[in-house]
Amino acid sequence: MSGAKLESLNDQQYKMLLVVTTVYQQQLSMYENKQQRVDDRIVSLTQPHIRPIVRGKAGTPVEFGAKLSVSYHNGYVFIDRLSWDNFNESGDLKSRLFIT
């Protein structure tokens, strides 16, 4: 069998190979199951941790980047949650109401 051996890849190349393999598996799964979505879908080879956040806005229906939930108390701002995945902030509000 010809081709490069895994040992010949540097760390960056090996990580990229893992990402590309995951993307291939996701695409194959969507094709075989006739679906248009998959959980934790990779949309960037260079930033595989980034997830699309569907907003439904007219100008930009989909946004990318970290989503965070912050609270303000006694002149201080606290980051309650920081995530690259989409989440519902209403749960954060409920938990923050009971913290003094």
- For 25-64, the pLDDT digits (tens) are 999 999 999 999 888 889 889 989 888 777 777 777 777 7
44 versus 96: the higher-pLDDT residue is 44
- pLDDT at residue 73 greater than cutoff 70: yes
SS3 of residue 23 by DSSP: helix
Q: Contact, 43 vs 64, CB < 8 A?
A: yes
Q: Contact, 78 vs 68, CB < 8 A?
A: no
Q: Contact, 77 vs 95, CB < 8 A?
A: no
- pLDDT at residue 67 greater than cutoff 60: yes
